[in-house]
Amino acid sequence: MSARNPTARFSPMTSTPGPVPSLDIDALIDDPKQRIIVCCGSGGVGKTTTSAAIALRAAERGRKVVVLTIDPARRLAQSMGIEALDNTPRPVPGVVSTGSTSTGSTSTGSLDAMMLDMKRTFDEVVESQASPEKAQQILNNPFYIAVSSSFAGTQEYMAMEKLGQLDKDARASGRWDLIVVDTPPSRSALDFLDAPERLSSFLDGRFMKLLLAPARGPAKLMTAGFGLVTKAVTTIIGGQVLNDMQAFVSAFDTLFGGFRQRAQRTFELLQAPGTSFLVVAAPEPDALREAAYFVERLSAEKMPLAGLVVNRASSDPGGTLTAAAALSGYENLRDETDPVTRMAAGLLRLHADRKLIVERESRLRSRFATAHPGVRTAVLPALPSDVHDLDGLRRIGDLLATASG
- For the chain, domains (ranges, CATH) are 25-204+259-314+382-403 (3.40.50.300)
Residues facing residue 64 across a β-bridge: 110
Residues facing residue 178 across a β-bridge: 65
Cα–Cα distance, 200 to 347 (Å, whole number): 58
From the list 309, 311, 323, the residue with the least C-alpha distance to 357 is 323
Q: What is the pTM of this model?
A: 0.81
Cα–Cα distance, 236 to 405 (Å, whole number): 56
In this prediction, residue 18 carries a pLDDT of: 53
CA torsion sign for 301, 303, 307, 311 is negative
In this prediction, residue 215 carries a pLDDT of: 46
In this prediction, residue 232 carries a pLDDT of: 45
Report the DSSP pairing between strands 275-281 and 110-115: unpaired
Report the DSSP pairing between strands 110-115 and 90-91: antiparallel
- Rounded to 5°, the CA angle 316-327-384 comes to 30
- Rounded to 5°, the CA angle 193-184-8 comes to 50
Tens digit of each residue's pLDDT, the chain (405 residues): 444 443 344 333 333 445 667 899 999 999 999 999 999 988 889 888 999 999 999 999 999 999 998 766 666 677 776 666 678 898 998 898 776 555 555 668 999 999 888 888 889 888 888 889 888 988 888 878 877 877 666 777 788 888 989 999 999 999 999 999 988 776 565 677 777 666 666 656 555 555 555 544 444 444 444 444 444 444 444 455 666 666 666 666 666 667 777 777 888 898 999 999 999 999 999 999 989 988 998 998 889 999 999 999 999 998 899 999 999 999 999 888 898 999 999 999 999 999 999 999 999 999 999 999 989 999 999 988 888 889 999 999 999 999 876
